[in-house]
Amino acid sequence: MVEAIAAPPTGEVEPISQRGSLWQDAWHQLRRRVTFWLSALILTVAVAMAVFPGLFTSLGPNEGCNVRRARVRPSDAAIFGFDNQGCEYWSQVVYGARPSILIGLAVTVFSLLIAIVLGLLAGYYGGWVDGLISRLTDIFFGIPFVLGATVVLIAFPERGIWAMTLVLVLLGWTTMTRIMRGQVLAVKDTDYVRAARGLGAGDLRIMRKHILPNAIAPVFIVAMLNVGNVISGEATLDYLGVGLQFPEVSWGLQLNVARSFFFEFPHLLIFPGLFLTATVLSFLMLGDVVRDALDPKLR
Amino acid sequence: MGRYVVVRLLQMIPVFFGTTFLIYAMVFALPGDPILALAGDKPLPPAVLNALHDRYNLDDPLIVQYGKYIGGLLQGDLGETFTGQPVGELLSDRWTVTLQLALTAWVFELVAGVALGVIAALRRGGIIDTLVLGGTTFIIAIPVFVFGYTAQIVLGLHLGLFPTSYEGDWPGSFILPAMVLGSFGIAYVARLARASLIENLRADFVRTAQSKGVARRRIIGVHTLRNSLIPVVTYLGVDFGNLMAGAVVTEGIFNLPGIGQQVFQSIQLQEGTVVVGVVSLLVLVYLLVNLLVDLLYGVLDPRISHG
């Protein structure tokens, strides 16, 4: 799964390199960056935890808990200590990776799809289509994230991973749509688009073959940076108590529990906080280096 | 210029109604009858129930309810809570706390963010630059509540530099919360200012100035700094609304009796009027600040004119 995130340049080098060397160039740049390999490494570990938690712990989620050991501090036997329910904290923190990674990727993919479709339509057709989509974007853009999400989430009787994904997509598609629209506007008046139209290409073909590949790079970068932001936002909602619910295990939920005890038991705060920050940080750094690699002006 | 302002104000109208209606509809769609929830386990007599439904327009269709609400809002009436307290009164004390917090954080963003960004850009590739880049990436990545609690433990509890709970005085009780609230913005502004200044220092007009023998201090101060600040101003404009809304989390951590805490309770009690009232005001603040930012562009970069 990390391949899908860490290496789109590699993945897309083959088909696109025939048309231009942007992505190939970018890959050459990327290979030389320490930051790239460092964040790819952290993300590989995080994704492995999300997909195969069994590699890291023999316990199941919420398994082998004993309230007598509640909040016992880290020791040699249990290097992360125990959580409020007396579960071994290391395995609980490992299981926390899955919802974060899954929601971060799912929300970004769905938002990206919405942004591509709406941005193409608004930028290409202009007129009332553009007006409608742009005003709609403005409306959703104006909703404050935490408050808007809370209002929607309270309405769900049970909040699982897909409910969270839905809400985060609902509030998260606007920025990418705006960027996509701007890109399409910039690309649509170029000579090669006119040439294609002159040769009799239809709207759909022009959008798919000529505009999309040339407009996608900045949107793609924002999408990569977005994964980290979504993970952080999801954890914030969990922490506020309006996100995922027990028996789901997530870093945000662990931090929600930790808030009542962190003065005496800082380990409850430190470990999920550390894992969460490392994951978000890696996605952001990855987005940063990919942007540097794709933007020739920064070289 | 006047024409531009009018057009922008007209464009705001559908956005304002759209956003407030969306929030209103979502609160309205929350399952369960808020009046019944208010009464607890005891069943209410039907007459009382109907009277209360009537008073809060709960039996009207959604669009009528919303219309009545907006009608009141335009006359400065924010409605009242289910316990009969006027929302305007409920929020007035809390607004000042949140406003103080958000403004303090905003000033931090502007001053600390720009200063860090400019210093890093001028010493590009040096130790300070590396520190700023690394530090800001870290700050951007750390979720605000993790940062908040860590700061509270280290700076408040262990070092005793700041009070760990609200004591009601400005700036004492606000400095640490504002730093936490503004941390993301400080980091973001620093990066924006740095990138923008570096890009502008490579522009042709800078090379021209250099070859004319203009002093470096003047090149930076007069030729580049002002127009480099455009992305920063854009961000700061958008971010003021975010700061007010993001205060929910920070106020929770530091126990500040601000608007965020109130809204959060109100959402859970299904007090639609409070939630919509706050969100409407936030959206209004957000739209107006953005208009202000657009007008500022012309001041910062004479090439941009609104005709």
Backbone angles phi, psi at B214, to 5 degrees: -70, 140
Asked whether the beta carbons of A84 and A268 are under 8 A apart, the reply is yes
What distance lies between CA A172 and its chain's CA centroid?
Answer: 10
| Contact: A263, B241; criterion CB under 8 Å | no
Output the CATH code of domain A22-298. 1.10.3720.10
Q: Is a pLDDT exceeding 80 seen at residue A10?
A: no
| Contact: A240, B15; criterion CB under 8 Å | no
DSSP collapsed to 3 states, chain A: CHHHHHCHHHHHHHHHHCCCCHHHHHHHHHHCCHHHHHHHHHHHHHHHHHHCHHHCCCCCCCCCCCHHHCCCCCCCCCCCCECCCCCEHHHHHHHCHHHHHHHHHHHHHHHHHHHHHHHHHHHHHCHHHHHHHHHHHHHHHHCCHHHHHHHHHHCCCCCCHHHHHHHHHHHHCHHHHHHHHHHHHHHHCCHHHHHHHHCCCCHHHHHHHHHHHHHHHHHHHHHHHHHHHHHHHHHHHHHHCCCCCCCCCCHHHHHHHHCCCCCCCHHHHHHHHHHHHHHHHHHHHHHHHHHHHHCHHHC
Q: How far is A201 from chain B (nearest CA, A)?
A: 36
CA separation for the pair A251, A236 (Å, rounded):
10
pLDDT, one tens digit per residue, over B64-97 is 878 887 887 777 777 777 777 787 887 887 888 8
Determine the length of chain A: 299
Among A58, A59, A189, smallest CA distance to A123 is for A189
**pLDDT number for residue A108:** 95
How far CA B20 is from CA of A130, B62, B102, in Å, comes to: 22, 13, 22
Of A138, A150, A284, the CB nearest to B141: A284
Asked whether the beta carbons of B139 and B147 are under 8 A apart, the reply is yes
DSSP collapsed to 3 states, chain B: CHHHHHHHHHHHHHHHHHHHHHHHHHHHCCCCCHHHHHHCCCCCCHHHHHHHHHHCCCCCCHHHHHHHHHHHHHCCCCCECCCCCEHHHHHHHHHHHHHHHHHHHHHHHHHHHHHHHHHHHHCCCCHHHHHHHHHHHHHHHCCHHHHHHHHHHHHHHHCCCCCCCCCCCCCCCCHHHHHHHHHHHHHHHHHHHHHHHHHHHCCHHHHHHHHCCCCHHHHHHHHHHHHHCHHHHHHHHHHHHHHHHHHHHHHHHHCCCCHHHHHHHHHHCCCHHHHHHHHHHHHHHHHHHHHHHHHHHHHHCCCCCCC
Backbone angles phi, psi at B86, to 5 degrees: -65, 135
Q: Least CA distance to B260: which residue of chain A? A: A147
CA separation for the pair B146, A281 (Å, rounded):
14
| Contact: B23, A284; criterion CB under 8 Å | no
Cβ-Cβ contacts under 8 Å, B15 against chain A:
135, 138-139, 142
Burial annotation B190-202 (CB, 10 A radius, 16+ → b, else e): bbbbbbbbbebbe
Output the CATH code of domain B93-300. 1.10.3720.10
CA separation for the pair A61, A85 (Å, rounded):
12
Ranges in chain B annotated CATH 1.10.3720.10: 93-300
CA separation for the pair B182, B82 (Å, rounded):
34
Question: Average model confidence (pLDDT) for chain B?
Answer: 81
Which of A43, A132, A139, A229 best probes binding to B when mutated, by most B CB atoms within 10 angstroms?
Answer: A139
Mean pLDDT computed over A58-82: 76
Domain boundaries, chain A: 22-298
Of A152, A236, A285, the CB nearest to B249: A236
Q: Is a pLDDT exceeding 50 seen at residue B276?
A: yes
CA separation for the pair A55, A48 (Å, rounded):
8
Cβ-Cβ contacts under 8 Å, B142 against chain A:
273, 277, 280-281
Q: How far is B249 from chain A (nearest CA, A)?
A: 8
CA separation for the pair B223, B229 (Å, rounded):
12
Cβ-Cβ contacts under 8 Å, A34 against chain B:
none
pLDDT, one tens digit per residue, over B110-145 is 999 999 999 998 888 889 998 998 899 888 888 888
Burial class (CB in 10 A: 0-12, 13-18, 19+), B236: buried
Q: Is a pLDDT exceeding 80 seen at residue A169?
A: yes
Among A176, A172, A284, A161, smallest CA distance to A233 is for A172
Token pair, residue B73, equals 């809002």
Cβ-Cβ contacts under 8 Å, B268 against chain A:
154
| Contact: A144, B18; criterion CB under 8 Å | no
| Contact: A276, B143; criterion CB under 8 Å | yes
Of A144, A262, A276, the CB nearest to B153: A262
| Contact: B248, A263; criterion CB under 8 Å | no
Cβ-Cβ contacts under 8 Å, B249 against chain A:
146, 236, 239-240
Q: How far is A29 from chain B (nearest CA, A)?
A: 18
| Contact: A146, B249; criterion CB under 8 Å | yes
pLDDT band per the 50, 70, 90 thresholds, residue A190: confident
| Contact: A262, B30; criterion CB under 8 Å | no
What is the predicted ipTM?
0.77
Cβ-Cβ contacts under 8 Å, B245 against chain A:
144-147
| Contact: B141, A281; criterion CB under 8 Å | yes
Q: Which residues contact A136 (CB under 8 A, 6 or more apart)?
A: B18
| Contact: B199, A297; criterion CB under 8 Å | yes
| Contact: B249, A255; criterion CB under 8 Å | no
Q: How far is B247 from chain A (nearest CA, A)?
A: 10
Q: Least CA distance to B259: which residue of chain A? A: A147
| Contact: A135, B15; criterion CB under 8 Å | yes
**Poorest-pLDDT segment among A99-108, A115-124, A133-142, A162-171:** A133-142
pLDDT, one tens digit per residue, over A30-61 is 888 888 899 999 999 999 988 888 888 877 78
Q: Is a pLDDT exceeding 80 seen at residue B108?
A: yes
pLDDT, one tens digit per residue, over A230-282 is 999 999 898 888 888 878 888 988 888 888 787 788 888 888 989 999 999 99
Is the pTM above the cut of 0.95? Answer: no
Q: How far is A102 from chain B (nearest CA, A)?
A: 18
Of B23, B249, B287, the CB nearest to A143: B23
